[in-house]
C-alpha cells in the first residue's frame, strides 16, 4: 500500500498522460539501465549522486523517483529532493515493479538525442491541423514533457532538422511519418510501445480525422471540426499547439474514462 512517500505503479500509470502528471526521474545506475534500456513513459534519467545539485530544477513540483527496485537509490534521491522543495515520492518496486505489472515501457533506442538542456527537439510543417498537434501531445504527455517543437515552411523541414539537430515528423520520406493507412500518430504509438486501449482508441479517431475516413470513428467529425476551428483562431502555431494540447487531453480522458457515459437529460430521469 502506498504511503505519503511512495506510490504504486498502478496509481502512477493513471497519472501519466494527464496534464498534471508528476516528473518521473529514473536514477538507475548505468549498468542497470544498460541491462534493460527501457524507460517508464515520460521519465528522464538523472545521476543519483548529483541529486543535491540538480534537484532545485524541480522545486515546487511533484516528482516520482524510480531506481531498479525502489530501494536505496530512489529512497535517497527522493529524500534529497524533499530538501529542495520537491514533493518527491518513490515508485514502489521501482523499474522492476513497473515492468512486472506489465505497464508500458519506452524503448530508449527510439528516443532522439537530447539537446544541452535535456530536451528532445522536433520539426514539422507550419500551420498544423490534426497529426501535427496529436503527435506533439503524445510526445509531451508520454515521451518527453519538455520537448521542443519547431514549425517551419514545408520545404524547409528537412534542412532545418539537419541544421538545428531536430527530428522531422509528419513529412514524406522520414521515419516519423505516415505508413500505408497509418498516420504519424499511429506510427508513434507503435514505435514507442504505447499501445494501451485508450491510446489505440484515440489513434483511430485521429486517423479517421487526419485521413478523411470519417466513417472509422463517430467522434472523428468532431475532432476534425475542432481542429480546423483552432487553426482559424490562431496565427501563432505555438499558441495553437498549447490550445490543442487541452483538446487532446479531453479526448484522451474520454477514451480512457468516459466512453460509457451518456447524457443525463432530462434531468432527474431514472436510467432504464
The structural domains of the chain, ordered by start, are 6-107 (3.40.250.10), 111-258 (no CATH)
Per-residue model confidence as pLDDT tens for the chain (272 residues): 445 699 999 999 999 999 999 999 999 999 999 999 999 999 999 999 999 999 999 999 999 999 999 999 999 999 999 999 999 999 999 999 999 999 999 999 999 999 999 999 999 999 999 999 999 999 999 999 999 999 999 999 999 999 999 999 999 999 999 999 999 999 999 999 999 999 999 999 999 999 999 999 999 999 999 999 999 999 999 999 999 999 999 999 999 999 998 887 777 665 55
Give this prediction's pTM.
Answer: 0.94
Evaluate the CA torsion angle 160, 163, 169, 171 in order and state its sign: positive
Cell output for 118: 535535456
- In contact, 62 and 90? CB cutoff 8 Å: no
How much is the CA Rg of the chain, to the nearest whole Å?
A: 20
Q: Strands of 167-168's sheet, edge to edge?
A: 148-152, 121-125, 167-168
Cell 503527435 -> residue: 135
- Which is nearest to 76 in space by CA: 84, 85, 87, 65? 65
C-beta neighbour count of 238 within 10 angstroms: 11
Residue 12: half-sphere exposure toward Cβ, Cα within 13 Å: 33
Amino acid at each position: 500500500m502506498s504511503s505519503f512517500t511512495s506510490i504504486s505503479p498502478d496509481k502512477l500509470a493513471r497519472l501519466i498522460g494527464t496534464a498534471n502528471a508528476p516528473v518521473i526521474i529514473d536514477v538507475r545506475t548505468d549498468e542497470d539501465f544498460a541491462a534493460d534500456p527501457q524507460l517508464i513513459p515520460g521519465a528522464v534519467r538523472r545521476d543519483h549522486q548529483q541529486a543535491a545539485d540538480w534537484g532545485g530544477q524541480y522545486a515546487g513540483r511533484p516528482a516520482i523517483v524510480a531506481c531498479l527496485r525502489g530501494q536505496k537509490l530512489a529512497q535517497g534521491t527522493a529524500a534529497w529532493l524533499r530538501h529542495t522543495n520537491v514533493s518527491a515520492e518513490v515508485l514502489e518496486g521501482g523499474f522492476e515493479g513497473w515492468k512486472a505489472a506489465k505497464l508500458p515501457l519506452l524503448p530508449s533506442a527510439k528516443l532522439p538525442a537530447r539537446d544541452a538542456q535535456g530536451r528532445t527537439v522536433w520539426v514539422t510543417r507550419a500551420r498544423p491541423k490534426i497529426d501535427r498537434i496529436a503527435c506533439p501531445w503524445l510526445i509531451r504527455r508520454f515521451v518527453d514533457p519538455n520537448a521542443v517543437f519547431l514549425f517551419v515552411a514545408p520545404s524547409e523541414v528537412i534542412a532545418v532538422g539537419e541544421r538545428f539537430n531536430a527530428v522531422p515528423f509528419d513529412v514524406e520520406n522520414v521515419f516519423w511519418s505516415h505508413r500505408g493507412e497509418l498516420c504519424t500518430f499511429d506510427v508513434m504509438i507503435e514505435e514507442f510501445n504505447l499501445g494501451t486501449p485508450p491510446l489505440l482508441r484515440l489513434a483511430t479517431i485521429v486517423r479517421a480525422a487526419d485521413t478523411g475516413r470519417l466513417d472509422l470513428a463517430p467522434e472523428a467529425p468532431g475532432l476534425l471540426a475542432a481542429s480546423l476551428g483552432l487553426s482559424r483562431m490562431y496565427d501563432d502555431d505555438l499558441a495553437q499547439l498549447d490550445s490543442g494540447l487541452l483538446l487532446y487531453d479531453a479526448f484522451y480522458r474520454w477514451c480512457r474514462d468516459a466512453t460509457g457515459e451518456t447524457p443525463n437529460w432530462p434531468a432527474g430521469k431514472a436510467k432504464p
